[in-house]
Amino acid sequence: MTIKKSIPGAIALLLILSLLAACGSGSNSNTSGNAEGKGDKPAKETTLTFWHHYSTASPEEKTLTEQLIPQFEAANPGIKVKAVAYPWDQLHKKLQIGSSSSEMPDVARLDIIWVPEFQKQGLLVALDEKFADFDETAKELLEGPLSTGKIGDHYYGLPLNTNTKVMFWNESMLKASGLDKAPETADEFFTAIAGVKAQSDRAWGFGEPALQGWNILPWIWSNGGDVLSPAMDTAQGYLNSSATIEILTKLRAAIQAGQIAGFKPGDVPVTEGHAQGSYAMMAEGPWAFAQFESQFPDFKAAAASFPKGSAGSVQVLGGEDLGIFSKDKQEESWKFVKFLTSEAAQVSMGKVGQIPVNLKAMENSEIKSIAYFAPFLEQLKTSKARPPVAAWPQIDTVINDTMSAIFMTDRDIQGELDKAADQIDALLK
Protein backbone atom coordinates (compact mmCIF):
# COMPACT_ATOMS: atom_id res chain seq x y z
CA MET A 1 0.00 0.00 0.00
CA THR A 2 2.68 2.48 0.96
CA ILE A 3 4.63 1.66 -2.18
CA LYS A 4 1.63 2.05 -4.41
CA LYS A 5 0.78 5.48 -2.93
CA SER A 6 4.35 6.77 -3.57
CA ILE A 7 4.45 5.91 -7.29
CA PRO A 8 2.60 9.02 -8.58
CA GLY A 9 4.77 11.26 -6.41
CA ALA A 10 7.94 9.53 -7.60
CA ILE A 11 6.90 9.90 -11.19
CA ALA A 12 6.22 13.62 -10.65
CA LEU A 13 9.57 14.04 -8.96
CA LEU A 14 11.35 12.32 -11.83
CA LEU A 15 9.62 14.58 -14.33
CA ILE A 16 10.69 17.68 -12.42
CA LEU A 17 14.27 16.48 -12.17
CA SER A 18 14.31 15.72 -15.89
CA LEU A 19 13.14 19.22 -16.72
CA LEU A 20 15.72 20.74 -14.41
CA ALA A 21 18.45 18.61 -15.94
CA ALA A 22 17.41 19.66 -19.44
CA CYS A 23 17.52 23.32 -18.43
CA GLY A 24 20.90 22.83 -16.79
CA SER A 25 22.22 21.11 -19.88
CA GLY A 26 21.10 23.96 -22.07
CA SER A 27 22.95 26.59 -20.06
CA ASN A 28 26.08 24.73 -18.99
CA SER A 29 26.90 22.00 -21.50
CA ASN A 30 29.14 24.21 -23.64
CA THR A 31 31.12 25.44 -20.67
CA SER A 32 31.47 21.92 -19.27
CA GLY A 33 32.52 20.56 -22.63
CA ASN A 34 35.02 23.39 -22.87
CA ALA A 35 36.66 22.64 -19.57
CA GLU A 36 36.88 18.95 -20.25
CA GLY A 37 38.13 19.43 -23.78
CA LYS A 38 35.21 17.52 -25.33
CA GLY A 39 35.18 19.76 -28.36
CA ASP A 40 31.67 21.21 -27.77
CA LYS A 41 31.17 24.63 -29.29
CA PRO A 42 31.65 27.27 -26.57
CA ALA A 43 28.73 29.51 -25.67
CA LYS A 44 30.80 32.58 -26.58
CA GLU A 45 33.80 32.89 -28.85
CA THR A 46 36.41 35.59 -28.29
CA THR A 47 38.82 36.78 -30.97
CA LEU A 48 42.10 38.34 -29.91
CA THR A 49 43.96 40.60 -32.31
CA PHE A 50 47.73 40.20 -32.17
CA TRP A 51 49.90 42.75 -33.97
CA HIS A 52 53.53 41.81 -34.59
CA HIS A 53 56.49 42.62 -36.83
CA TYR A 54 57.73 39.19 -37.82
CA SER A 55 58.58 39.35 -41.50
CA THR A 56 55.83 37.86 -43.62
CA ALA A 57 56.59 34.27 -44.65
CA SER A 58 59.72 34.24 -42.46
CA PRO A 59 60.41 31.08 -40.40
CA GLU A 60 59.27 32.95 -37.26
CA GLU A 61 56.01 34.12 -38.80
CA LYS A 62 55.25 30.68 -40.20
CA THR A 63 55.95 29.06 -36.83
CA LEU A 64 53.65 31.56 -35.13
CA THR A 65 50.74 31.17 -37.53
CA GLU A 66 51.06 27.50 -38.49
CA GLN A 67 52.12 25.99 -35.15
CA LEU A 68 51.76 28.19 -32.09
CA ILE A 69 48.43 29.89 -32.67
CA PRO A 70 46.69 26.61 -33.61
CA GLN A 71 48.18 25.00 -30.47
CA PHE A 72 46.93 27.86 -28.30
CA GLU A 73 43.45 27.77 -29.83
CA ALA A 74 43.24 23.98 -29.35
CA ALA A 75 44.18 24.35 -25.69
CA ASN A 76 41.78 27.27 -25.19
CA PRO A 77 38.47 26.52 -26.94
CA GLY A 78 36.48 29.69 -27.39
CA ILE A 79 39.52 31.90 -27.97
CA LYS A 80 40.68 32.66 -31.50
CA VAL A 81 43.76 34.68 -32.39
CA LYS A 82 43.96 36.93 -35.43
CA ALA A 83 47.64 37.67 -36.12
CA VAL A 84 48.42 40.74 -38.20
CA ALA A 85 51.97 41.39 -39.47
CA TYR A 86 53.44 44.83 -40.10
CA PRO A 87 56.98 45.93 -40.92
CA TRP A 88 58.77 47.17 -37.79
CA ASP A 89 58.42 50.89 -38.50
CA GLN A 90 54.85 50.57 -39.74
CA LEU A 91 53.81 48.70 -36.61
CA HIS A 92 55.13 51.53 -34.47
CA LYS A 93 53.23 54.11 -36.52
CA LYS A 94 50.10 51.94 -36.51
CA LEU A 95 50.15 51.79 -32.71
CA GLN A 96 50.69 55.54 -32.49
CA ILE A 97 47.81 56.26 -34.86
CA GLY A 98 45.61 53.61 -33.28
CA SER A 99 45.88 55.24 -29.89
CA SER A 100 43.94 58.23 -31.22
CA SER A 101 41.53 56.30 -33.44
CA SER A 102 40.68 53.54 -30.92
CA GLU A 103 41.86 50.90 -33.40
CA MET A 104 44.21 48.95 -31.19
CA PRO A 105 45.22 45.30 -30.85
CA ASP A 106 44.54 43.24 -27.77
CA VAL A 107 48.18 42.12 -27.64
CA ALA A 108 51.23 43.42 -29.52
CA ARG A 109 54.84 42.38 -29.96
CA LEU A 110 56.71 45.54 -29.01
CA ASP A 111 60.30 46.52 -29.55
CA ILE A 112 61.61 46.89 -26.00
CA ILE A 113 62.31 50.56 -26.64
CA TRP A 114 58.62 51.27 -27.34
CA VAL A 115 57.40 50.23 -23.90
CA PRO A 116 58.19 53.56 -22.13
CA GLU A 117 56.42 55.49 -24.89
CA PHE A 118 53.15 53.56 -24.79
CA GLN A 119 53.20 53.28 -21.00
CA LYS A 120 53.48 57.06 -20.75
CA GLN A 121 50.40 57.36 -22.98
CA GLY A 122 48.45 55.10 -20.62
CA LEU A 123 47.87 52.43 -23.26
CA LEU A 124 49.48 49.40 -21.61
CA VAL A 125 48.04 47.24 -18.84
CA ALA A 126 50.14 47.07 -15.66
CA LEU A 127 50.57 43.30 -15.67
CA ASP A 128 51.69 42.86 -12.06
CA GLU A 129 48.69 44.86 -10.83
CA LYS A 130 46.08 43.17 -12.99
CA PHE A 131 47.04 39.48 -12.89
CA ALA A 132 47.45 37.57 -9.64
CA ASP A 133 49.84 35.00 -11.14
CA PHE A 134 52.24 37.57 -12.61
CA ASP A 135 55.03 36.82 -10.12
CA GLU A 136 54.71 33.08 -10.75
CA THR A 137 54.98 33.68 -14.50
CA ALA A 138 57.80 36.22 -14.24
CA LYS A 139 60.07 33.96 -12.16
CA GLU A 140 60.27 31.58 -15.13
CA LEU A 141 61.92 34.25 -17.32
CA LEU A 142 65.42 35.71 -17.64
CA GLU A 143 65.90 38.65 -15.30
CA GLY A 144 67.58 40.99 -17.80
CA PRO A 145 64.92 40.80 -20.51
CA LEU A 146 62.20 40.91 -17.82
CA SER A 147 63.53 44.28 -16.63
CA THR A 148 62.86 45.85 -20.04
CA GLY A 149 59.13 45.78 -19.31
CA LYS A 150 59.41 47.56 -15.99
CA ILE A 151 58.61 51.28 -15.86
CA GLY A 152 58.72 52.80 -12.39
CA ASP A 153 57.28 50.29 -9.93
CA HIS A 154 55.26 48.20 -12.35
CA TYR A 155 55.66 45.87 -15.31
CA TYR A 156 53.95 46.84 -18.57
CA GLY A 157 55.47 44.15 -20.75
CA LEU A 158 56.57 40.55 -20.54
CA PRO A 159 59.70 39.60 -22.51
CA LEU A 160 59.13 37.48 -25.59
CA ASN A 161 62.71 37.15 -26.80
CA THR A 162 66.12 38.74 -26.48
CA ASN A 163 68.78 39.33 -29.07
CA THR A 164 71.78 41.27 -30.18
CA LYS A 165 73.89 41.42 -33.33
CA VAL A 166 77.21 39.86 -34.23
CA MET A 167 79.52 40.27 -37.20
CA PHE A 168 78.73 37.90 -40.04
CA TRP A 169 81.59 37.37 -42.45
CA ASN A 170 81.69 35.75 -45.86
CA GLU A 171 84.73 33.47 -45.65
CA SER A 172 85.38 33.23 -49.38
CA MET A 173 85.21 37.00 -49.86
CA LEU A 174 87.58 37.76 -47.00
CA LYS A 175 89.99 35.00 -48.00
CA ALA A 176 90.18 36.51 -51.47
CA SER A 177 91.35 39.67 -49.73
CA GLY A 178 94.02 37.80 -47.78
CA LEU A 179 92.10 37.35 -44.52
CA ASP A 180 91.30 34.02 -42.86
CA LYS A 181 89.13 35.35 -40.02
CA ALA A 182 86.78 38.17 -39.16
CA PRO A 183 88.40 41.45 -38.01
CA GLU A 184 88.71 41.63 -34.23
CA THR A 185 89.25 45.39 -33.93
CA ALA A 186 87.82 48.48 -35.60
CA ASP A 187 91.20 49.20 -37.23
CA GLU A 188 91.26 45.70 -38.69
CA PHE A 189 87.68 46.18 -39.89
CA PHE A 190 88.45 49.32 -41.89
CA THR A 191 91.54 47.67 -43.37
CA ALA A 192 89.49 44.61 -44.33
CA ILE A 193 86.69 46.49 -46.11
CA ALA A 194 89.24 48.46 -48.10
CA GLY A 195 90.84 45.18 -49.15
CA VAL A 196 87.51 43.74 -50.29
CA LYS A 197 86.77 46.79 -52.41
CA ALA A 198 90.21 46.59 -53.98
CA GLN A 199 89.38 43.07 -55.16
CA SER A 200 86.08 43.95 -56.85
CA ASP A 201 84.16 47.07 -57.85
CA ARG A 202 80.96 45.02 -57.59
CA ALA A 203 81.46 44.09 -53.95
CA TRP A 204 81.37 45.99 -50.67
CA GLY A 205 83.23 45.26 -47.49
CA PHE A 206 80.24 45.86 -45.20
CA GLY A 207 76.48 46.02 -45.64
CA GLU A 208 74.43 48.31 -43.40
CA PRO A 209 70.67 48.29 -44.09
CA ALA A 210 69.69 51.44 -42.14
CA LEU A 211 71.01 54.40 -40.18
CA GLN A 212 68.93 54.34 -37.01
CA GLY A 213 70.17 53.87 -33.48
CA TRP A 214 69.99 50.09 -33.85
CA ASN A 215 72.56 50.36 -36.63
CA ILE A 216 74.78 53.28 -35.57
CA LEU A 217 74.95 53.02 -31.77
CA PRO A 218 77.29 49.98 -31.71
CA TRP A 219 79.90 51.97 -33.63
CA ILE A 220 79.53 54.99 -31.33
CA TRP A 221 79.50 52.97 -28.10
CA SER A 222 82.45 50.80 -29.08
CA ASN A 223 84.44 53.95 -29.78
CA GLY A 224 83.68 55.38 -26.33
CA GLY A 225 80.88 57.74 -27.36
CA ASP A 226 77.21 57.90 -26.43
CA VAL A 227 73.94 59.58 -27.33
CA LEU A 228 72.71 60.75 -23.93
CA SER A 229 74.24 61.54 -20.57
CA PRO A 230 74.08 58.86 -17.83
CA ALA A 231 71.13 60.75 -16.36
CA MET A 232 69.49 60.66 -19.81
CA ASP A 233 68.66 64.35 -19.62
CA THR A 234 70.88 65.79 -22.36
CA ALA A 235 72.67 64.91 -25.58
CA GLN A 236 75.07 67.85 -25.36
CA GLY A 237 78.64 66.68 -24.95
CA TYR A 238 77.68 63.09 -25.77
CA LEU A 239 76.19 62.76 -29.24
CA ASN A 240 78.46 65.57 -30.42
CA SER A 241 81.56 64.38 -28.53
CA SER A 242 84.98 63.89 -30.09
CA ALA A 243 84.60 60.10 -29.79
CA THR A 244 81.42 60.19 -31.88
CA ILE A 245 82.92 62.51 -34.45
CA GLU A 246 85.97 60.29 -34.81
CA ILE A 247 84.07 57.10 -35.67
CA LEU A 248 81.54 58.85 -37.92
CA THR A 249 84.41 60.42 -39.84
CA LYS A 250 85.87 56.98 -40.51
CA LEU A 251 82.51 55.53 -41.50
CA ARG A 252 81.79 58.39 -43.91
CA ALA A 253 85.17 57.98 -45.56
CA ALA A 254 84.48 54.27 -46.06
CA ILE A 255 81.03 54.98 -47.51
CA GLN A 256 82.40 57.58 -49.90
CA ALA A 257 85.08 55.09 -50.98
CA GLY A 258 82.39 52.55 -51.86
CA GLN A 259 83.40 50.18 -49.08
CA ILE A 260 80.08 50.34 -47.19
CA ALA A 261 76.59 50.28 -48.72
CA GLY A 262 73.12 48.88 -48.17
CA PHE A 263 71.12 51.75 -46.68
CA LYS A 264 70.35 53.76 -49.81
CA PRO A 265 67.34 53.13 -52.07
CA GLY A 266 68.32 50.71 -54.82
CA ASP A 267 71.17 49.14 -52.87
CA VAL A 268 71.44 45.35 -52.83
CA PRO A 269 69.48 43.98 -49.82
CA VAL A 270 72.04 43.25 -47.15
CA THR A 271 71.24 39.74 -45.92
CA GLU A 272 70.62 38.40 -49.40
CA GLY A 273 73.70 40.23 -50.67
CA HIS A 274 75.86 38.75 -47.95
CA ALA A 275 74.87 35.21 -48.94
CA GLN A 276 75.29 35.93 -52.66
CA GLY A 277 78.72 37.57 -52.48
CA SER A 278 77.89 41.28 -52.57
CA TYR A 279 78.78 42.16 -48.96
CA ALA A 280 81.76 40.58 -47.23
CA MET A 281 80.39 41.43 -43.77
CA MET A 282 77.23 42.53 -42.03
CA ALA A 283 76.05 42.95 -38.43
CA GLU A 284 72.84 41.00 -37.89
CA GLY A 285 70.83 38.97 -35.39
CA PRO A 286 70.22 35.23 -34.99
CA TRP A 287 67.26 35.28 -37.36
CA ALA A 288 69.75 35.63 -40.22
CA PHE A 289 70.78 31.99 -39.75
CA ALA A 290 67.19 30.87 -40.21
CA GLN A 291 66.90 33.03 -43.31
CA PHE A 292 70.08 31.56 -44.78
CA GLU A 293 68.88 28.05 -44.07
CA SER A 294 65.52 28.60 -45.76
CA GLN A 295 66.60 30.80 -48.70
CA PHE A 296 70.30 30.03 -49.22
CA PRO A 297 70.88 26.48 -47.92
CA ASP A 298 74.21 26.16 -49.74
CA PHE A 299 75.68 29.25 -48.07
CA LYS A 300 77.88 28.57 -45.07
CA ALA A 301 77.39 31.44 -42.64
CA ALA A 302 80.12 32.42 -40.19
CA ALA A 303 79.78 34.76 -37.20
CA ALA A 304 82.14 36.48 -34.76
CA SER A 305 82.02 39.25 -32.17
CA PHE A 306 81.55 42.84 -33.29
CA PRO A 307 84.95 44.58 -33.82
CA LYS A 308 86.41 46.13 -30.68
CA GLY A 309 86.88 49.86 -30.42
CA SER A 310 88.58 51.82 -27.65
CA ALA A 311 85.65 50.93 -25.34
CA GLY A 312 85.46 47.28 -26.37
CA SER A 313 82.95 45.33 -28.44
CA VAL A 314 79.62 46.93 -27.55
CA GLN A 315 76.56 45.87 -29.52
CA VAL A 316 72.97 46.97 -29.09
CA LEU A 317 70.67 44.91 -26.88
CA GLY A 318 67.52 44.01 -28.72
CA GLY A 319 64.43 42.02 -28.08
CA GLU A 320 60.70 42.29 -27.90
CA ASP A 321 58.17 42.49 -25.11
CA LEU A 322 54.52 41.48 -25.20
CA GLY A 323 52.18 44.26 -24.18
CA ILE A 324 48.46 44.07 -23.48
CA PHE A 325 46.39 46.94 -24.87
CA SER A 326 42.98 45.28 -24.50
CA LYS A 327 40.33 46.89 -22.34
CA ASP A 328 37.70 44.14 -22.48
CA LYS A 329 39.64 40.92 -23.20
CA GLN A 330 42.41 41.20 -20.66
CA GLU A 331 42.13 37.72 -19.15
CA GLU A 332 42.14 36.08 -22.58
CA SER A 333 45.06 38.29 -23.62
CA TRP A 334 47.01 37.27 -20.53
CA LYS A 335 46.48 33.59 -21.38
CA PHE A 336 47.97 34.21 -24.82
CA VAL A 337 50.92 36.16 -23.42
CA LYS A 338 51.69 33.38 -20.94
CA PHE A 339 51.45 30.80 -23.71
CA LEU A 340 53.95 32.63 -25.94
CA THR A 341 56.44 32.83 -23.05
CA SER A 342 55.98 29.19 -22.05
CA GLU A 343 58.76 26.63 -22.47
CA ALA A 344 57.10 24.83 -25.38
CA ALA A 345 56.37 27.96 -27.40
CA GLN A 346 59.82 29.39 -26.71
CA VAL A 347 61.50 26.19 -27.86
CA SER A 348 59.49 26.24 -31.10
CA MET A 349 60.53 29.81 -31.84
CA GLY A 350 64.08 29.12 -30.71
CA LYS A 351 64.45 26.55 -33.47
CA VAL A 352 63.93 29.30 -36.05
CA GLY A 353 66.35 31.81 -34.55
CA GLN A 354 64.55 33.57 -31.69
CA ILE A 355 66.70 33.46 -28.54
CA PRO A 356 64.42 32.30 -25.68
CA VAL A 357 63.82 34.17 -22.43
CA ASN A 358 62.16 31.23 -20.69
CA LEU A 359 64.65 29.64 -18.27
CA LYS A 360 63.52 26.07 -18.93
CA ALA A 361 63.62 26.66 -22.68
CA MET A 362 67.22 27.87 -22.37
CA GLU A 363 68.10 24.51 -20.81
CA ASN A 364 66.10 22.49 -23.32
CA SER A 365 68.31 20.01 -25.17
CA GLU A 366 67.01 21.13 -28.57
CA ILE A 367 67.90 24.74 -27.83
CA LYS A 368 71.30 23.91 -26.36
CA SER A 369 72.14 21.98 -29.52
CA ILE A 370 71.74 25.10 -31.69
CA ALA A 371 75.41 25.93 -32.24
CA TYR A 372 74.88 29.32 -33.85
CA PHE A 373 73.40 30.77 -30.63
CA ALA A 374 76.89 30.69 -29.06
CA PRO A 375 78.31 33.95 -30.56
CA PHE A 376 75.13 35.83 -29.67
CA LEU A 377 75.16 34.63 -26.07
CA GLU A 378 78.79 35.80 -25.86
CA GLN A 379 77.97 39.18 -27.43
CA LEU A 380 75.03 39.67 -25.06
CA LYS A 381 77.53 39.93 -22.20
CA THR A 382 78.66 43.34 -23.47
CA SER A 383 75.50 44.49 -25.25
CA LYS A 384 73.85 47.73 -24.19
CA ALA A 385 70.23 48.82 -24.27
CA ARG A 386 69.08 51.93 -26.06
CA PRO A 387 68.09 54.70 -23.62
CA PRO A 388 64.73 53.77 -22.04
CA VAL A 389 63.13 57.19 -22.45
CA ALA A 390 59.62 57.82 -23.74
CA ALA A 391 60.94 60.15 -26.45
CA TRP A 392 63.29 57.52 -27.89
CA PRO A 393 61.29 56.92 -31.12
CA GLN A 394 61.52 60.64 -31.91
CA ILE A 395 65.19 60.69 -30.91
CA ASP A 396 65.78 57.74 -33.21
CA THR A 397 64.29 59.74 -36.09
CA VAL A 398 66.71 62.59 -35.34
CA ILE A 399 69.60 60.12 -35.37
CA ASN A 400 68.49 58.64 -38.68
CA ASP A 401 68.09 62.05 -40.33
CA THR A 402 71.42 63.24 -38.96
CA MET A 403 73.30 60.17 -40.13
CA SER A 404 71.71 60.46 -43.56
CA ALA A 405 72.92 64.05 -43.78
CA ILE A 406 76.42 63.11 -42.64
CA PHE A 407 76.90 60.02 -44.79
CA MET A 408 75.19 61.20 -47.96
CA THR A 409 76.54 64.77 -48.12
CA ASP A 410 79.74 66.67 -47.35
CA ARG A 411 78.20 68.65 -44.49
CA ASP A 412 80.28 69.37 -41.42
CA ILE A 413 79.97 66.46 -39.01
CA GLN A 414 80.40 68.60 -35.89
CA GLY A 415 77.74 71.04 -37.07
CA GLU A 416 75.22 68.28 -37.86
CA LEU A 417 75.76 66.63 -34.48
CA ASP A 418 75.42 69.97 -32.66
CA LYS A 419 72.05 70.55 -34.33
CA ALA A 420 70.96 67.01 -33.51
CA ALA A 421 71.91 67.44 -29.84
CA ASP A 422 69.77 70.58 -29.66
CA GLN A 423 66.81 68.76 -31.21
CA ILE A 424 67.18 65.81 -28.84
CA ASP A 425 67.40 68.04 -25.78
CA ALA A 426 64.15 69.70 -26.82
CA LEU A 427 62.51 66.27 -27.04
CA LEU A 428 63.73 65.35 -23.55
CA LYS A 429 62.06 68.37 -21.92
User: In CATH, what number is assigned to the domain containing residue 278?
Assistant: 3.40.190.10
Residues 70 and 173 in one domain: no
Are both 216 and 349 inside the same structural domain? no
- Do residues 327 and 397 share a domain? no
In-domain check, residue 24: no
Residue 270 lies in a domain: yes
Q: Does 302 lie in the same domain as 291?
A: yes
Residue 9 counted as domain residue? no
CB atoms within 10 A of CB 378: 14
Buried b / exposed e along 135-168 (16+ C-beta atoms within 10 A)? eebbebbbeebbebbbbeebbbbbbbbbbbbbbb
CA distance 290 to 379: 19
Other residues' Cβ atoms within 10 Å of the Cβ of residue 218? 24
Burial class (CB in 10 A: 0-12, 13-18, 19+), 410: exposed
CA-closest candidate to residue 163, choices 373, 368, 317, 387: 317
Question: pLDDT at position 177, please?
Answer: 87
Question: How many Å apart are CA 40 and CA 78, to the nearest integer?
Answer: 10
**CA distance from start to end of the chain:** 95
| Same domain flag for 151 and 198 | no
Q: Is the same domain home to 188 and 236?
A: yes
Indicate whether 41 belongs to any domain: no
Same domain for 185 and 158: no
Global confidence as pTM:
0.80
For residue 254, which of 272, 280, 274 has the smallest C-alpha distance? 280
53-71 as b/e: b if 16+ CB within 10 A: bbeeebbbbebbbeebbee
d(CA 98, CA 105): 9
Report if residue 15 sits inside a domain: no
In this structure, the number of other CB atoms found within 10 A of the CB of residue 279 comes to: 31
Same domain, 156 and 190: no
Give a yes or no: residue 74 inside a domain: yes
CA angle 371, 221, 315 (to 5 degrees): 15
Is there a single domain that holds both residue 96 and residue 224?
no
**What is the total count of domains within the chain?**
2
Asked if residue 313 lies in contact with residue 207, where contact means CB atoms within 8 angstroms, the answer is no
What average pLDDT values come out for the chain (429 residues) when binned by 10 residues? Answer: 37 35 36 39 85 92 98 98 96 89 93 96 97 98 94 96 97 91 97 95 96 98 98 97 98 98 97 97 94 93 97 96 97 98 98 94 94 93 92 96 97 98 97
My answer on whether 200 and 87 are in the same domain is no
128 shares its domain with 158: yes
Inter-residue contact 318 to 163 (CB < 8 Å): yes
- The answer to the question of residue 32 being in a domain is no
* Residue 212 forms part of a structural domain: yes
Cβ of 227: how many Cβ atoms within 10 Å? 25
From residue 143, how far is each of 147, 166, 357, 365 by CA, in Å? 6, 22, 9, 21
Residue 52: give the domain boundaries: 46-162+318-376
Say if residue 190 is in the same domain as residue 287.
yes
